[in-house]
Structure 1
Amino acid sequence: IAAFASDAERLADQKVDDPTAHRYMFDVFQPGTAGESPVIGEKEIEELAEKKTRMAIEAIKKAPGQDLEAARMTAWGLLNAVTYTVDHHLGNNQDSRLRLAWFGGNADIKKRAFQLALELL
């Protein structure tokens, strides 16, 4: 738990800009889709983003808690936007969302999101 707490603090201290945040969400939800493009702007989002990626990009600013200093445009905030999207929006119903978040593909998405967030440090 101490290691996770340390990682969380470092993630909360790591500021990110919009292009980095957009790239992160593509790498989490659509690995390889954006290729090696260093910048993900509105045009790329419009042309390439799947619904889940769009929801996660929107969650960066609108998910609960994203207005807090530790989350606002930080690596920690990006990770929290992913968990919010996965846990509250992906899945057909509440039972499905819970099962997927704990054991299914959505659990894998959250693991990938954590690793990619650490790579932003």
Structure 2
Amino acid sequence: MNKPILHPKTIQITHGPLPGSRKVYVDGVPFREVALSGGEAPVRLYDTSGPYTDENAHIDIERGLSAKRREWIWARGDVEEYAGRARKPEDDGLRRGELLSVPQFDRASRKPLRAKPGRNVTQL
């Protein structure tokens, strides 16, 4: 069976608050505060959902996520921009010819970063 090809305009992004919990920030770190039953205090879980579950966030998939850490990353002096490569259908789990079934976004304003020669960039 072939995967149905959706017209790009039919794709929707789920965003907003999640039921039974609320998003809170502790020193800028996002948590999901989950309500419990039986008079128990809510429990906080690290929230990896990004801005999509923040009811105050403006979501615009055409523009992408804001580059909150860009200045900090550049200030380290260990990265450089490069041209990257052309998008391939397999990047999105598609076969050749299916690429037009998903939205195309302008990537010219945001180039990928890589470590400068002799440098090692990690998430630490």
Q: Which of the five TM-score ranges fits, normalised by the shorter chain?
A: under 0.3
Flag the structure with higher strand content: 2
Higher relative contact order (CA 8 A, sep 6+): 1
TM-score (norm 2): 0.26
